[in-house]
Structure 1
Amino acid sequence: MTDIFDYLIPLSLAAVLVVLLAGLWNMMRGGSASRSQTLMRWRVALQFAAICVLMAAFYFTAA
């Protein structure tokens, strides 16, 4: 069970990083505000999912 967290944690953190970088890229090149809002909502949702994965890992791997 705990082996799955070895893959889920980096995957969730990488997803947050990709969306964050996409949002920064959009902002730096003067992209649309609507796209920035969409990327920000995705980032917040992915951060929530990453925190849930981390908390589940802590819960299931506690001795």
Structure 2
Amino acid sequence: MTILLVLLIIGAAGAVAFALIRGLHAFANLRPADVDEAGLPKSLTVQNKMMFARVKWQAITIVLLAVLVVIAGSQ
């Protein structure tokens, strides 16, 4: 069970890193002239989406770590 949790934690941490890197890439390629129908830069939409994805994956990682600590403490 702990091996499965560790693998899930590694996968979730990888998703955090992916969302962070993709958000930073969108930030680095900000082009104010490239706007969507609402008048917002398209890369700003990607930045916001990746920020929320990163927060979601961080929360999942923390919950998995807490479960791992509880299971490891009970053994």
**TM-score when scaled to structure 1?**
0.90
Consecutive unaligned residues in structure 1, runs of 5 or more: none
Structure with greater helix percent: 1
Please tell me whether Structure 1 or Structure 2 has the larger radius of gyration of its CA atoms: 2
Pick aligned residue for 1:37 from 48, 56, 75:
48
Consecutive unaligned residues in structure 2, runs of 5 or more: 31-41
**TM-score when scaled to structure 2?**
0.77
Aligned-pair Cα RMSD in Å? 1.2
- Which has the higher relative contact order, 1 or 2, with Cα contacts under 8 A spaced 6 or more apart? 1
- Alignment map for 1:9-48 (pairs within 5 Å): 9-30=9-30, 32-48=43-59
The offset of 1:6, in angstroms, is: 2.5
Q: Provide the C-alpha distance between the structure 1 equivalents of 2:63 and 2:43, rounded to a whole number of angstroms.
A: 31
Question: Identity percentage over the alignment?
Answer: 25
